[in-house]
Amino acid sequence: MSKFRMHILVCGGTGCMSSSSGEIFDVFEKELSANSLSNEVQVIKTGCFGFCEQGPIVKIYPDNVFYVQVKPADVSRIISEHVIKGRTVPDILYKNPESKETVAEHREIPFYHSQLRIALRNCGLINPEEIDDYISVSGYEALGKCLTEISREDVISAVKASGLRGRGGAGVSTGFKWEMAYKSQGDKKYVICNADEGDPGAFMDRSILEGDPHSVLEAMAICGYAIGADEGVIYIRAEYPLAVERLRIAIRQAEEYGLLGDDILGSGFSFHISLSLGAGAFVCGEETALMNSVQGMRGEPRMKPPFPAQAGLWHKPSNVNNVETWANIPPIILKGADWFKSIGTEKSPGTKVFALAGQINNVGLVEVPMGIKLRDIIYKVGGGVRGGKRFKAVQTGGPSGGCIPAELLDLAIDYDSLQSVGSMMGSGGMIVMDETDCMVNIAKYYLEFTVEESCGKCTPCRIGNRRLLEILEKITSGQGTEDDLTELKDLSAAIQDSSLCALGQTAPNPVVSTMKYFWDEYIAHVRDKKCTAGKCTSMLTYKVTDKCIGCTICAKNCPVNAISGSLKSLHSIDPAKCVKCGVCFNKCPKQAIERV
């Protein structure tokens, strides 16, 4: 790589690829060739830069100039102005929404100020399809160190001492899980990567696998050495075709380099990795359901104990971690447990990757130290709420998590703090809601997802959650009573206490948390028959007020012809025809339509 004076990094993650970054990459190669620059400037297709809201992204190195929302037509200007003349192209630089000033260097962009990348350290930096790029940033050094310098027991001790907790669910100690698998007796052991990322709005694991697949392969091999396993399985949903393709390329390259397979680095240790594609069942994110699926069985959770470390895949001792957890292992081995523990909090060391989505200005992937305030994530990293609207709540932990209200914006984000307010870390989804969101309707949305995705094995989850959904549907349609609220509370507690697996046990969390923090909205729905956010359409009535000037815009846009009236005269809405879609409310230039 040193022969090139400049590198052009083009985001090759799924988000940017869907917005023509593949074409941008091709145009760069053609333009460089046409200008006889191919021998001195290299274009590299990387993984996700994280700032998805501003994609497609192009970064010029070593200048560290960051171009956003790039189009194929912009490539020739970047070549002629920046690459040849050394001048930036101002109109595709990031513009600070507050100061309106353009920012050239990515480190000066507020989105990146509070971030610290460990799991995402190589995403957006290297070509994920070239093993030499990974090796150039200390790739596979940790594996080599383990095989030549560190005993199996000391590897486990280092992971345990780091305090690394599982990044995909309840936050169990990673070192403790490895130790259990190490101590379990068996003629065969397995290392499993859980890449079945099914939370709505979550794309952390996908981005790591797309941008830095070798980090996961290396970590799994380290675990295999430590616990005495010679085989690894990556369970990944088939809906991630780009991640699957790059994993296959990475596995083949690692085998060709002797970093996977038999007798790795002449150490006598052998480790093979295969892929198992899932069909998208949310419940297969639960580790025992995942193993059933790998074995060709129905994806249903097993009773615990025995735990996977005792009897897992094919009833052999197995260790299961998710993608982000694996991505933290090589840096811990190379830099030490104390280094990792110096980041984050005492009980939640390190960083956490979050997928910011919903009503947030800076939609994207962020990695921040544990213990950061929720307010800093929303406003400093996330850039605040869209349209200047009032922040209302954030859902963390996916469908199994809870909704955290505005009064808890100064909450420290770590495992224990989130659990104390009725939410959870989960895999790292973070969905932001504003004043226009109805929290009763939000709870209903997550219950719809959970009911659809329930494996149906245990009655509390199969029947109980469906009953919760029925009550929420009744309430949001204006038919609810205060007795229904009592039943919601009692039934939620029963489901949490008696479901077979963690997915069923945590399914009522959106209901419990919204009832706790947004009780007034539930009361308004059942007592006043009113949705204050205007999202529960069955409870709404639209009428034209005296502000109407008879412009006919509402009538022209009504999809069911429910609005009548002649030009320059007061219009009216036929409630029998109105489907309460809200088009008239949104289109009226004089705000003459009232929603009650």
Q: Which residue matches tokens 């009980």?
A: 347
Report residue 363 CA to chain centroid gap.
11
- Whether the pTM exceeds 0.85: the reply is yes
pLDDT in the model for residue 96: 84
Q: What is the maximum alpha-carbon separation in the chain?
A: 88
Give the whole-angstrom CA distance, residue 334 versus residue 175: 16
Q: Which residue matches tokens 């994110």?
A: 285
pLDDT in the model for residue 1: 42
pLDDT in the model for residue 540: 86
CA-wise closest residue to 428 among 71, 50, 159: 50
What are the structure tokens assigned to 79, written together?
A: 């070549």
Phi, psi of 572, rounded to the nearest 5 degrees: -145, 155
pLDDT tens column, 43-72: 999 999 999 999 999 999 999 999 999 999
Give the side-chain half-sphere CA count within 13 A for 486.
Answer: 3
Asked whether 79 and 31 are in contact (CB, 8 A), the reply is yes
Other Cβ atoms closer than 10 A to 23: 14
pLDDT along the chain (596 residues), means of 10: 84 93 96 96 96 95 94 97 95 87 87 95 96 97 98 98 91 96 96 91 91 98 98 96 97 98 97 95 92 95 94 97 97 98 96 95 96 96 94 91 94 94 88 95 94 91 95 95 96 94 90 96 94 88 93 95 94 92 92 89
Structural domains present in the chain: 6-110 (3.40.30.10), 131-339 (3.40.50.11540), 351-434 (3.10.20.600), 439-527 (1.20.1440.230), 541-595 (3.30.70.20)
* Stretch (H or E) spanning 60: strand 58-61
Q: Residue 453 is which amino acid? A: E
What are the structure tokens assigned to 495, written together?
A: 């489901």
Q: Which residue matches tokens 């009650």?
A: 596
3-state DSSP helix/strand/coil percent for the chain, to nearest 5? 45, 15, 40
pLDDT in the model for residue 2: 53
Asked whether 391 and 406 are in contact (CB, 8 A), the reply is yes
Angle at 485 between CA 445 and CA 421, to 5 degrees: 65
Instruction: Give, in order, the Cα–Cα distances in Å from 168 to each of 171, 269, 275.
Output: 7, 28, 19
Q: What is the DSSP letter of 11?
A: E
Nearest 10 degrees: Cα torsion 457, 461, 467, 473: -110
CA 367, 370, 375, 380 torsion: positive or negative? negative
pLDDT in the model for residue 47: 96
Beta-strand runs (E) in 418-473: 429-434
Q: What is the DSSP letter of 595?
A: E
In the chain, what is the straight-line distance between the N-terminal and C-terminal CA atoms, in Å? 64
What are the structure tokens assigned to 470, written together?
A: 């029925």
CA-wise closest residue to 294 among 307, 313, 311: 313
Give the whole-angstrom CA distance, residue 463 versus residue 399: 17
Phi-psi region of 102 (alpha: psi -120 to 50; beta: other; left: phi over 0): beta
pLDDT tens column, 333-367: 999 999 999 999 999 999 999 999 999 999 999 99
CA 448, 449, 451, 452 torsion: positive or negative? positive
CA 421, 425, 426, 432 torsion: positive or negative? positive
